[in-house]
Amino acid sequence: MPKITSSTTVSPNYVHMPWPSIPDEMRGRLVEYTKNTPIIGDGVAGGRLIEGIPVYGIVRPPKYLTKWVEENIPLKDHFLGIQRFYGMEDVRIHIDSIREYCFNCLLTDTGPVTSFYDNNKKIVESVTYQQNEWYRHETKRYHGVTGIPEPYRISITMFKVDLQQTGALRSEGKAFVQAVSVFPPKK
């Protein structure tokens, strides 16, 4: 786990990281890039399409983002991608199957609420992640998101794949894990 040197917010569910924001011009380019780039793994996460677009997926980062992250974010050996939610107002309560945690930087508007739940699926904490700020998000706890503005929610995501948790994934998930397990990507 990366060392956290300081933070403005600490919780058992998330940590606001003191890392630099993405430059505004780059953030706008990344949003447009993500809307028009196929997801990794050649499958549809969750098996759902809206207007022919997967409701969730992660796209490979452009080289300019990879370079910026290498120069500005103190993580090594983490997968880097851009996650895209499309046409979803809410993300159901779930526990991620392939990662224990992730570092996310929301590129689109602030507004949706991320809630964390106990094992009985009762809310224990809620947070509104701020646009263009970095957060460590604990993904092995029940969590969900409400109030996603249409049509897109886009964020940079960095994580390590938990290969011990991938056995039960459907074929789309296995293709995704295979794709993200090769990091940094071969040039």
Encode pLDDT of 11-22 as tens digits: 999 999 999 999
pLDDT, the chain, mean? 83
What is the percentage of the chain residues whose pLDDT exceeds 70?
Answer: 78
pLDDT of 66: 96
Burial class (CB in 10 A: 0-12, 13-18, 19+), 12: exposed
Q: Could you read off the pLDDT of 163-187 as tens digits, one per residue?
A: 665 555 545 455 556 555 544 444 4
* Predicted model pTM: 0.83
For residue 70, what are its two tokens? 């290498």
pLDDT of 5: 44
What is the percentage of the chain residues whose pLDDT exceeds 90?
Answer: 55
One-letter amino acid of 2: P
Q: Name the pLDDT band for 161 (thresholds 50, 70, 90).
A: confident
pLDDT of 88: 82
pLDDT of 54 above 70: yes
Residue predicted with more confidence, 142 or 40: 142
pLDDT of 33 above 60: yes
Q: Name the pLDDT band for 45 (thresholds 50, 70, 90).
A: low
Q: What is the mean pLDDT of residues 139-148?
A: 93
Q: What is the mean pLDDT of residues 68-85?
A: 93
Q: What is the mean pLDDT of residues 126-151?
A: 93
- Give me the residue spans of the domains in the chain: 17-109+132-141+149-163
Cβ contacts of 24-30, under 8 Å, gap ≥ 24: 26/64, 26/65, 26/68, 27/107, 27/132, 29/62, 29/64, 30/62, 30/65, 30/82, 30/107, 30/154, 30/156
pLDDT of 65: 97
Q: What is the 3-state secondary structure (H, E, C) of the chain?
A: CCCCCCCCEECCCEEEECCCCCCHHHHHHHHHHHHCCCCCCCCCHHHCEECCEECEEEECCCHHHHHHHHHHCCCCCCEEEEEEEECCCCEEEECCCCCCEEEEEECCCCCCEEEEECCCCCEEEEECCCCCCEEEEECCCEEEEECCCCCEEEEEEEECCCHHHCCCCCHHHHHHHHHHCCCCCCC
